[in-house]
Structure 1
């Protein structure tokens, strides 16, 4: 049997001289050789990435603003204890994590422009209602609803981006998109410090206005999103027919053979559920999502307990997040350029371990503040690199959507744990919280090593021909019935996805 993987690597996208050798061809016979690939992909970038970045900025701003509001008397005004506050933080993550896999499937079956916009409209409304809540029960209910309505955005957008770009292009785009989380962290401190001056207006305290104004801004953006968010490549309105064909064929040439669309089958969901990669990825995401939420929710409090007043604590969090934004984008670029996502993960997890060892051992405010820079460099930058790594190694539109949904959902579920680890009784040094985050990072490091080791082992097995399928009419001494029998290589590719013998995993 021909080595179709080698053919795919050797084929030239410009003009697609070998595209018919690659199997799936979207609209065969259409000549697209006159299209300039760089100009087209720049057009795709401008129509896909910027608005998604804005949406995630507001998503992260909305969910994290409760940490800023806490510094301005939220607990006292609502009459809640520190433990009740921590429970409210935790409640966000249960519906947020559990609904993510289902949301990704719905995103594929519906249109991103409809699904993502409706989601944002609902969470913006709920965010606004945080500003009129008067007791513990009301805050707890709103945090549950906020988690439910925000659930599908992050995994949905990651899956959506992976449906537009080649495997060597995904990491940087996800990094640019995710960098808005660091911008939100920086902006939330500045925004909170400004909005809180509205204290007493309309009979509402300053912290309430943080929720009200941010929520109303989200609602306005949600309405605009119905017209601005683009759909998948096979039906995006901003592309001409020839451009659509070009985008889909270049994805198919990159082993994304389902790029032209895929009919939903329960079998694709089961493929994800039976795949070991799904569960190792869940552990990998646990290793950085737990620390992410601990960091984002409690950075202002950590700085505050180092001896700085509330407003100054919020302002001192700004440069930390700016630094995190810069590092995240740089790592995303390096991941795509070098393709060494595993080695980058090793370096970042190690940096994270060093940061929290410093935080555990330090009794000096200045040293602890420095460690927050090191921590954000690891925690935030590792996320888009890992997301791209997992997405690149799962083929099949529905299988990838479920795998990403489960991995991201499980990772986010750990936010319910880390939302409770920075207790008031542990201040000012928060040894318990730092120790638990250190444990999470260790788990992530172990899972990264396991993931890379098993991927390399599987590639080696395929290189030896031990996964070759029986193809009708094709002589292949390595072919084995246990790997499946198919009428053509094309049928094997589409049915097996990344389990096809010609698919090679990336490191």
Structure 2
């Protein structure tokens, strides 16, 4: 399971930045929530079946002179590489691009998409690349707050993905085969929670509230998972944590996508977001240590700290957004303004 998640993590690290960026440019701000959730839902499906698949592939032990765990890397790595190569031709650029993309859209359709984006956030026009414009986005402290929220989210989600079978086996007493199969139901539940909250956040234009809901699920579920006496009750806690952590990935991506403007700032923010997400993956792989068995208290406390930090950051950002939106409503300033030719009237989404 852990080996399979490493391979999937490599795929996500390479594919995620482009998808985070492209989805946030093609769609208006209150369409991205459901689309991010559907995209990440594929990861949940992979996680749901990765335990079962890993258990099956391990039975290839000795085939071709390779260990079973090596076959996991060979099979999943090969699929990842092939998809990555095909993506060069299959991924479609933004409508203003001169690169041919399979005649995906005609000129009238391209103009319609650009008009929708301009009406929503006014940044469909892409200026020529400038390193100064790209790096200037790093001066906005909010960019780093979004990145830290994503770091906290992926720390929990990766920790759970890496160590859930171990926790189920050594901490809850299930045998290896049963533990690998029991990985699937929590991820299936997480997919339902993920899409339901994404639909709510798009319809009612709430982003920060969804992050808080997800982190509360983690805060409730982690102590249950770690300290309840009954294995069945602890397994219920696994459902809550899995749903909260994984649902928060598209929620955090939607949160940052709704509150930035400008294509190069968006590119910088996508890069930092996914970069910090990768760092969270490293942290997540380290928090549940073998020497902390059987209770794994340091790992549980680390995940709780990440969830609480995310709630605090959302609270700070929400107060700041409301203050800045009020100033913009009074005509005192234009939000997310720069030397680019933006449409006026942008407002932050709390």
Correspondences of 1:241-320 after superposition (within 5 Å): 241-257=107-123, 259-305=124-170, 306-320=172-186
Correspondences of 1:362-373 after superposition (within 5 Å): 362-373=228-239
CA RMSD in angstroms comes to 2.4
Deviation at 1:391?
0.9
Q: Hey, what does 1:228 align to over in structure 2? A: 90
- Deviation sequence 1:22-63 (CA, Å, 0-9, x none): xxxxxxxxxxxxxxxxxxxxxxxxxxxxxxxxxxxxxxxxxx
Q: Distance in 2 between matches of 1:314 and 1:363?
A: 22
- Deviation sequence 1:372-414 (CA, Å, 0-9, x none): 1001111111221221111111110010110222133223313
CA contact 1:160–1:232 (8 Å) conserved in 2: yes
CA contact 1:288–1:379 (8 Å) conserved in 2: yes
After TM superposition, what 4+ stretches of structure 1 lie above 4 angstroms from structure 2? Answer: none
- Deviation sequence 1:432-452 (CA, Å, 0-9, x none): 211111111111110111111
Which deviates the most, 352-361 or 442-451? 352-361
SS in 2 for 1:429: coil
Q: TM-score, normalised by structure 1?
A: 0.64
Q: Distance in 1 between matches of 2:44 and 2:220?
A: 21
Q: Hey, what does 2:206 align to over in structure 1? A: 340
2:23 maps to 1:161: yes
CA contact 1:65–1:188 (8 Å) conserved in 2: no
Deviation at 1:319?
1.0
CA contact 2:152–2:280 (8 Å) conserved in 1: no
- Deviation sequence 1:75-103 (CA, Å, 0-9, x none): xxxxxxxxxxxxxx8xxxxxxxxxxxxxx
After superposition, the Cα gap between the structure-2 partners of 1:271 and 1:463, relative to the gap in structure 1 and judged at 3 Å, is farther
* Structure 2 unaligned residues grouped into runs of 5+: none
User: Which one of 268, 271, 290 corresponds to residue 424 of structure 1?
Assistant: 290
Instruction: Pick the structure with greater CA Rg.
Output: 1
User: Which one of 319, 340, 343 corresponds to residue 495 of structure 1?
Assistant: 340
Which deviates the most, 183-192 or 160-169? 183-192
CA contact 2:38–2:195 (8 Å) conserved in 1: yes
Q: Distance in 2 between matches of 1:279 and 1:429?
A: 33
2:252 maps to 1:386: yes
CA contact 1:172–1:329 (8 Å) conserved in 2: yes
SS in 1 for 2:202: helix
- Deviation sequence 1:463-502 (CA, Å, 0-9, x none): 1222169xxxxxxxxxxxxx9xxxxxxxx776276xx863
After superposition, the Cα gap between the structure-2 partners of 1:393 and 1:466, relative to the gap in structure 1 and judged at 3 Å, is same
- Deviation sequence 1:333-356 (CA, Å, 0-9, x none): 111111111222222211111111
2:27 maps to 1:172: no
CA contact 1:155–1:408 (8 Å) conserved in 2: yes
2:195 maps to 1:329: yes
Q: TM-score, normalised by structure 2?
A: 0.91
After superposition, the Cα gap between the structure-2 partners of 1:227 and 1:410, relative to the gap in structure 1 and judged at 3 Å, is closer
Correspondences of 1:423-502 after superposition (within 5 Å): 423-467=289-333, 495=340, 502=345
Q: Distance in 2 between matches of 1:466 and 1:221?
A: 49
Structure with more relative contact order (C-alpha pairs < 8 Å, separation 6 or more)? 2
